[in-house]
Structure 1
Amino acid sequence: MSNIIYIGYEFKVKPMQPGVEILVAELGYSGFESFVETETGVTAYIQKVDWNESILDDVRILNSDEFEINFTFNEIEQTNWNQEWEKNFNPIVVDNVCAVRAPFHEKSNTTFDIVIEPKMSFGTGHHETTHMMIQHILKNDFINKSVLDMGCGTGVLAILAEMKGAKPVDAVDYDNWCYLNSIENVDRNNCKHITVIEGDASVLKNKKYDIIIANINRNILLKDMATYVSCLNENGALFLSGFYNDDIPIIKAECEKHLLNFKEKLERNNWVSLKFLN
């Protein structure tokens, strides 16, 4: 698979809150897949193949009298991405137990210390959805559980799952940069039980897991839910994120259609993460 080209939009937003939160939500529905908050607003990324000149037509906040929003956009070169992350990527600590940091940060004294060099991949723990997925992993038993990290991004969730005792672990992403970055990060964290796979839900045929982690977006989750359920072992757990509070009814309805039972909700700045059991 050839390298995927991204279009990056740099938005300047006044006032920042709740402007950035609303903007990110609407951009997510329009197909943007990753976001980096800046001092003046947010930078949003969409794959060039998904981009068109009318991509912002349904982003209503851009026409709101309550906010002043300006933007520029350009293609993102892969070689520039590391520099962008080094400028914006600060170490984080989740629940005083798990640290996610870059190689240039000092080692933490937390129980789990994960070293991630993100490149173009999405999922450093900074975004609310990844943060909540880390919380789910910390709270649940992963010892000797077979795990799927679907839409693995940097591989951070697969890495934490192995640190929590999971094996084997499959980390899957259709983005070539994410695939290569996950391989690097798996090796960087000395993981031995993670297999990184490049592809979409079609690569899951005949696979079975005790736990499935899927932090993607609402539309992909709905489209691939039947596949996830078919891959889930009896008494398995499914953790979902990448959507908002308003999306819960449609997500729950799809899960219940496949006989999954809702167990827990985490919420962070209007983003949510849900746990289901079969």
Structure 2
Amino acid sequence: MSNIIYIGYYFKVHPLQPAVEILIAELGYAGFESFVETEDGVTAYIQKEEWYADILDDVQILNSDEFQISFTFEEIEQTNWNAEWEKNFNPIVVDGECAVRAPFHDKFDTKYDIVIEPKMSFGTGHHETTHMMIQHILKNDFKDKSVLDMGCGTGVLAILAELKGAKPIDAIDYDNWCYLNSLENVERNNCKSITVIEGDASAIKNKYDIIIANINRNILMQDMSTYVSKLNKNGMLFLSGFYNDDIPMIQEVCEKHLLKFEEKLERNNWVSLKFLN
């Protein structure tokens, strides 16, 4: 991986909210794979081989009259990445029960303590969608349930699922860096029941009691039939990676597949939904 070069975009945003959330979502659709929120905006990263000169043309918020957004960008050698995360990655505690921290942070006195070396992967718990997925896992019974973490990023949700008693667990991500990072984090947290797989929805071979999919609206809708076909009877499906305004489209697709809406979580206009099969 040492030869991979990333392009880093440094966005200054005013006012910050909800512009930062919208910007991250639109950059995600454009192909950016990792984000760090900063005091005055957000830093976004994309592999140089995925970058092209007009990549920001479809990022509509940059043309909005409601927000002032400026940016600079540069090439970043991957060897600089750990230092970048150590500068920006602060530990979090979700609902007083689950801490997500880096190896260089002190241990928390919480029921669940997860150590993540995020590197270039999305899913440290800081983003609203990951935070809500952690809340779902904390609130629901995972003991002896088979689980799929689709779009696993750092593997944090799969790791928490195992800590909650789930087994076996598959964690899938199409991005090679996320795949490698999840392998590292699974080992770092001494997990024994997680199989990490590199691929997209076509890599799903098993059936599960619980499927967690924190991706984005378009991918979720595209792959819904696959998720449903791999969900056991009376299984639970947790979805996130989209906004409040996207709920009608998501619900329509889910109801088409006879899924029953159960619960909604909301955080800064991002939402996470629970459905039952």
* Same structural fold, with TM-score higher than 0.5 when normalized by the shorter chain: yes
Which amino acid is 1:136 matched to?
Answer: H
Q: Is the 8 A contact 1:3 1:177 kept in 2?
A: no
**Using the alignment, how far apart are the partners of 2:122 and 2:41 within structure 1?**
18
Secondary structure of the 1:152 match is coil
Secondary structure of the 1:265 match is strand
> CA distance change for structure 1 residues 18 and 147 in 2, over 3 Å: closer, same or farther?
closer
1:171 match: 171
| Residues 99-154 of structure 1 deviation map (CA, whole Å, 9 limit, x = unaligned) | 00011111111000001111111101000000000000000000000000011111
Alignment of 1:208-219 (within 5 A): 208-219=207-218
Secondary structure of the 1:113 match is strand
Q: Does 1:276 align with 2:275?
A: yes
Structure 2: which 5+ runs fail to align?
none
* Alpha-carbon offset, residue 222 of structure 1: 1.2
Size of the aligned set, in residue pairs, is 277
Secondary structure of the 1:16 match is coil
Q: Is the 8 A contact 2:261 2:274 kept in 1?
A: yes
Q: Is the 8 A contact 1:4 1:177 kept in 2?
A: no
**Using the alignment, how far apart are the partners of 1:200 and 1:26 within structure 2?**
21
Over the matched positions of the two proteins, sequence identity in percent amounts to: 83
**Using the alignment, how far apart are the partners of 1:220 and 1:33 within structure 2?**
14
Q: Is the 8 A contact 2:151 2:215 kept in 1?
A: yes
Q: Does 1:38 align with 2:38?
A: yes
* Alpha-carbon offset, residue 40 of structure 1: 1.6
Task: Point out the more displaced range, 103-112 or 6-15.
Answer: 6-15
> CA distance change for structure 1 residues 81 and 94 in 2, over 3 Å: closer, same or farther?
same
* Alpha-carbon offset, residue 251 of structure 1: 0.9
Secondary structure of the 2:57 match is coil
Task: Point out the more displaced range, 43-52 or 79-88.
Answer: 43-52
Secondary structure of the 2:124 match is coil
Task: Point out the more displaced range, 195-204 or 98-107.
Answer: 195-204
1:243 match: 242
TM-score by length of 2: 0.94
Q: Does 1:147 align with 2:147?
A: yes
Which amino acid is 2:120 matched to?
Answer: M
Structure 1: which 5+ runs fail to align?
none
Which amino acid is 1:204 matched to?
Answer: I
**Using the alignment, how far apart are the partners of 1:229 and 1:3 within structure 2?**
39
> CA distance change for structure 1 residues 243 and 46 in 2, over 3 Å: closer, same or farther?
farther
Q: Does 1:203 align with 2:223?
A: no
> CA distance change for structure 1 residues 5 and 218 in 2, over 3 Å: closer, same or farther?
farther
TM-score by length of 1: 0.93
2:221 match: 222
Q: Is the 8 A contact 1:210 1:232 kept in 2?
A: yes
**Using the alignment, how far apart are the partners of 2:216 and 2:274 within structure 1?**
15
Q: Does 1:67 align with 2:76?
A: no
**Using the alignment, how far apart are the partners of 2:140 and 2:129 within structure 1?**
17
